[in-house]
Amino acid sequence: MHDDRSITEHRLRRVLKERIKPAVHSRSVPLAIERWEAPGEPVPVAEGLAAAYGPCAIGDAWGPAWGTTWFKVTGTVPAGWAGRTVEAVLDLGFDRMMPGFQCEGLVHRADGGEVKALNPYNDWVRVADSAVGGERIEWYVEAASNPVLVDHSATYEGDVRTSGDQPLYRLARMDLAVFETEVWELVQDLEVLHDLMTQLDGRDARRYEILRALDCALDAVDLDDVPGTVPAARARLAAALAAPAHASAHRISAIGHAHIDSAWLWPLRETVRKVARTASNMVSLMDEHPEFVFAMSQAQQLDWIKTHRPELFERVKKKIADGQFVPVGGMWVESDTNMVGGEAMARQFLYGKKFFMDEFGIETDNVWLPDSFGYTAAMPQIVKLSGSRWFLTQKISWSQVNKFPHHTFWWEGIDGSRVFTHFPPVDTYNSDLGGAQLAHAARNYQEKGRGSRSLVPFGWGDGGGGPTREQLARAKRQRNLEGSPRVEIERPDAFFEKAHAEYPDAPVWAGELYLELHRGTYTSQAKTKQGNRRSESLLHEAELWASTAAVRIPGYVYPYEDLERIWKTVLLHQFHDILPGSSIAWVHREARETYAEVEEELTALTLAAQRALAGEGEEELVFNCAPHARRGIAAGGASRPTAATTTTGQPVTVEERRGGGHVLANGRLRVEIDGRGLIVSAYDLEAGRESVAPGAAANLLQIHPDFPNMWDAWDIDAFYRNKVTDLVDVDGLAVAETGPMSATVRAARSFGSSSVVQSVTLRAGAKTVDIVTDVDWHETEKLLKAAFPLDVKAERTASETQFGHVYRATHTNTSWEAAKFEICAHRWIHAEEPGWGVAVLNDSTYGHDVTRDVRPDGGQTTTIRLSLLRAPRYPDPETDQGAHTLRYSLAPGAALCDAVREGHALNLPERTVTGAGPVAPLVAVDGDAVVVESVKLAEDRGGDVVVRLYESGGGRARATLTAGFPLSAAVESDLLERPLEGTAVGPLTPDGTVPLTLRPFQIVTLRLHRS
């Protein structure tokens, strides 16, 4: 037989595009159009409806960047259409290739109720299934003219303050039209069979069966009368569509989904509207398709609907009760997981799951994070303690180097907790259920022979939109179709139950799910990251002192509502395109403003509680909110500090250094700063060890070119290391401060268009060298690092993560290790030889790299570098430009417990308040290994004190918790503060203390019942 495949396929593509698809909407009449341009920001619906509309016509330009145009469309159904299916086709000027990234609209009735959203694959609105001639149509379209920002080039359109005012779109079509149902069904038949056919092997008989069926169907279509000849064409396809799937066919659980970035190439305020537009379409689709199931994560987004679209929220609630609209994820937002602090990650689940329970009476079982940029090894324990059972991600498929070896597996965290995890082999969280994607899922699935099923999230996403009626038609046709995986639309929990039942002994992956891409997100937008870290610290502080005051001070009212509101604001800004620094300028400008407001409000709450605790008096009291004692002040207490020099009895001295520079010493450390202002020695006097590698200099600023292959704000590519400039020239060097309690040497430098002043300080009694780097940064596409070459032979380093730390190799023996050339750490990184180590600490930096070199003398240099600043041009062309203050420290001789203690101390500074006398801690835990992460009052307003603590060293720990108030019981709880059957907490002792026994890195939440 002659091979005519390409001819038939080309014929199908042309006939579909030029004849059959245009016949879906046959007869049409234009709608009358009027318009009104909303001034400035979007207005309430009532204001849009009441506006004074002016003339408008098809082809008119509309919509400057970030504007809102209201269109009023009116018309009458022709009498001759009675009984026919009628739709309005409302094309705002869509580019069909970019759903979610351009103009969008929401159609309102005259009474303000939502009808349906408009986007490139949803440009229709059903008028009637059986129209009545003469029926009057009056709708109002709230159209958003969001600029297209997806081409990865520098643009100032990403902020309303710098964007242009020229119209971006032209109105394309606004008609009433007859919807030809059978023609539409034929389109779905043809597309499903064509997509399936092209995925089959050229030697497969099934491919030729479909080819011949398609050829015959096209023969039956009269191109001059498509609607009239559709039944005959569909009949010729019936047998091909009825052939059942093979018994061994891969099984796909299709879950409707619309990944909506809470901010990215649009500001938060636009996401509020995107969420409403998507939800309105989903509930409308559910009305027409009772089998349709749609999963939506992010409690914040549902809360936006509740707040801004209460009528729509009631429709959503009904669909949730019916089981079609399924809240998933259990978190306030789909947050970043690399940089979010431990307590903040716990609150993501506390407030997310609490919202779902309060509003809908349901508890989510799964964690839904398809798009975050890697996943912390602390996550499995946090997931389990939230009461969740399953974990889903997709993003690891983006890794550049190594293919992840599993699709269904048990993920084991740093404490040994495991969570059943699925990584959909379809390799997208925005599937269209097309043949190519389904075939890829089946081929790619790595559990063959043990498992048989995978999950596919389908629907347009990133900018929202969700599933379409076409996608539901594909699912229906591929439910049981020869050559295709079996597709069943079902709830996520149904998939996980089936997957777990068939594969309970799935393989185990231990440790972080490191994404081998987007490593620049640990550094981009430094002020956003500083705002997050500072807000987390301030919340810790405010809750601690407010709890102490609420228990101790009559009449003091714990600020439940204020703290919850602020927490939710901070949690929102941990979304995986805000905290990572990968959003447009508008988003980060607003984030900076928001963090400033958060700091002001939390500072006021903290000072109010501290003043209440201190009472009236003139004694200077230092409040220590860190989880370890310092300067003689108990953790969580306040008192006069003891002298800082009591450890050694020696003040700080400053001497001139031979050859230039200065030498600082305090009896514990001797620090040499050379004439270039660099630390050439940091000698541990107690251990007799030098921490700086021979011939090297620490606190060395280095600058690299930083022009990744594609994702500017997201990526750091390994080739950046090929070129480096050491910033060693000094404009000025001087002793800026000297005295018995501390001494500071300050160095000034200039480079490129930027300048920097670094202050190196040694304090009395301290074993840390503190560095403040003030940078006026005006570079473009550059990366600024601070290097600490250490005289330590370390096979691995420890990096702080949530509630513990992770070890990473310093060598690059395998491609997996080599791919981790940029890593994330929270407050510290620690490098150690047996018995002696060094920590590098920071107060707001997350990006780091660690390398090792063997010197000619046989010694090994382990270099830890902090990534301080970047300057990508997309999506924010002014990323990180301006003044920054960056703080970090070097801790020679530090053990792991020292790194934990000093990291908290750097991030939780003291406050001084005058008052009557000391304040005893509300709770105290003996020993350094068990760290108190947070102290708060219970969410249920019952007055219980909630304490969250964890084992920080990676070993077994015994400790005793002492409450500074009468205690009747201590109950181990989950993250939602519900009783948990555990073994960490012993019964109260006769003296009212609580014995604790923790396994390595275990998190324990206690509810302390007050007598």
What positions carry a catalytic annotation?
A: 371
Angle at the Cα of 447 (from 442 to 452), degrees rounded to 5? 60
Residue 890 forms beta bridges with which residues? Answer: 769, 840
Residues with Cβ within 8 Å of residue 453, at least 6 apart in sequence: 250, 251, 252, 253, 495, 498, 499, 502
Can you give the length of the chain in residues? 1011
> CB-side exposure of 353: number of CA atoms within 13 Å?
26
* Nearest of 502, 543, 430 to residue 945 by alpha carbon: 543
Residue 774 forms beta bridges with which residues? Answer: 757, 885
* Nearest of 777, 706, 339 to residue 522 by alpha carbon: 339
Burial 763-801 (b: 16+ CB within 10 A, else e): bbbbbbbbbbbebebebbbbbbbbbbbbbbbbebbbbbb
Distance, in Å, from the CA atom of 731 to the CA atom of 711, rounded to the nearest integer, reads: 36
Report whether 711 contacts 873 (CB < 8 A): no
Distance, in Å, from the CA atom of 700 to the CA atom of 679, rounded to the nearest integer, reads: 8
Amino acid at 365: D
Q: How far is CA 696 from the centre of its chain?
A: 38
* Nearest of 482, 140, 346, 333 to residue 1004 by alpha carbon: 346
* Residue with token string 């800026």: 736
Structure tokens at 413: 């965290």
Q: How far apart are the first and last CA of the chain?
A: 90
* Nearest of 262, 245, 350 to residue 298 by alpha carbon: 262
Distance, in Å, from the CA atom of 882 to the CA atom of 547, rounded to the nearest integer, reads: 38
DSSP 692: B
Residues with Cβ within 8 Å of residue 766, at least 6 apart in sequence: 644, 666, 668, 669
Structure tokens at 793: 């032979």
* Residue with token string 């242009």: 164
Count CB-CB contacts under 10 A for residue 59: 10
Residues with Cβ within 8 Å of residue 441, at least 6 apart in sequence: 250, 252, 424, 425, 426, 427, 454, 456, 485
Q: What are the DSSP calls for 798-844, one per residue?
A: EEEETTEEEEEESS-SSHHHHT-SSEE-SSEEEEEETTEEEEEEESS
